[in-house]
């Protein structure tokens, strides 16, 4: 994502690139110290890991800024709590996906789940990504699951099934299932299946190029700069919330 964002930054006069942040002790062209970045930037874009993003959020909050756009996924509950605490002091936009299409899909999934009764329609979420992705299900798949659960008025934790193996028994009514594929260079595929006894409705999105996510991340950075403290999502930035 860093490599995809850099040329877009260079081409947009609304932005001035302060520098990149690498792993502690890392050296390279364009890399600067994390404390220097916090002191100089208006917005930091973070596409690292859940633990690194939570640590950075705390440091930015302690310094009173800058604003933060977080695209990391695979968070532990305590990491999300630390980010929420930081958002009391600084504006943070956190999203598992910066695509306009995916955020439209999330709204459609919630609307469809609301309309189709759980005792008649099963929900299954399928996602596929490249073989270097380290977390599963993807952050986007979990966002889609949350949207489906919200549409049905339940918590995702109470109905999710993140894998099936062996003798699993019959599928409980209302369950939301996840299936994960990791292979090759797949940028990102997400499908939500609503299946009844006699028909199936599938809502899906395919990512063709990472530039789409980079453009969304810069739109998020432009939107979050100067906002009041709080935790926001990409749907806020796109006016879809």
Walk across the sheet containing 43-46 and list its strands. Answer: 43-46, 67-70, 91-94, 230-232
Query: Active-site residue 133, yes or no?
Result: yes
Residue 190 annotated in active site:
no
Quick one: tokens of 175?
């369950």
* Nearest residue to 141 (alpha-carbon basis) of 109, 175, 93, 186: 109
The Cα 43–Cα 46 span in angstroms is 10
Rounded CA-CA distance 166/23 in Å is 41
Measure the CA–CA gap between 35 and 59, rounded to whole angstroms. 9
Nearest to 144, CA basis, from 121, 164, 126? 126
| Catalytic pick among 130, 133, 190, 205 | 133
Please list, in sequence order, all residues whose beta carbon lies within 8 angstroms of the beta carbon of residue 65, skipping any fewer than 6 positions away: 38, 42, 90
Catalytically annotated residue among 129, 130, 190, 205: 129
**Are the beta carbons of 188 and 139 closer than 8 angstroms?**
no
d(CA 221, CA 84): 18
- Is 216:99 a contact under the CB 8 Å cutoff? yes
DSSP 65: -
Catalytic residue set: 129, 133
């Amino acid at each position: 994502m860093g490599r995809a964002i850099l040329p877009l930054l260079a081409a947009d006069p609304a932005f001035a690139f302060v520098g990149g942040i690498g792993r502690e002790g890392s050296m390279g062209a364009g890399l600067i110290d994390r404390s220097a970045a916090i002191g100089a930037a208006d917005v930091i874009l973070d596409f690292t890991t859940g633990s690194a993003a939570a640590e950075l959020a705390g440091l930015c909050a302690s310094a009173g800024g800058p604003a933060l756009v977080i695209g990391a996924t695979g968070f532990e509950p305590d990491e999300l709590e630390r980010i929420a605490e930081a958002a009391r002091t600084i504006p943070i936009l956190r999203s598992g996906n910066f695509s306009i299409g995916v955020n439209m899909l999330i709204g459609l999934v919630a609307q469809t789940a609301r309309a189709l009764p759980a005792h008649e329609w099963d929900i299954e979420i399928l996602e596929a990504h490249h073989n270097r992705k380290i977390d599963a299900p993807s952050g986007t798949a979990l966002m889609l699951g949350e949207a489906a659960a919200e549409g049905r008025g339940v918590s995702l934790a109470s109905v999710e099934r993140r894998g099936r193996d062996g003798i699993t028994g019959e599928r409980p009514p209302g369950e939301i299932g996840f299936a994960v594929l990791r292979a090759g260079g797949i940028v990102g595929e997400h499908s939500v299946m609503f299946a009844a006894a006699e028909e199936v409705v599938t809502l899906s999105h395919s990512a063709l190029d990472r530039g789409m996510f980079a453009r969304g991340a810069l739109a998020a950075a432009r939107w979050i700069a100067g906002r009041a403290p709080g935790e926001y999502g990409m749907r806020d930035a796109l006016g879809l919330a």
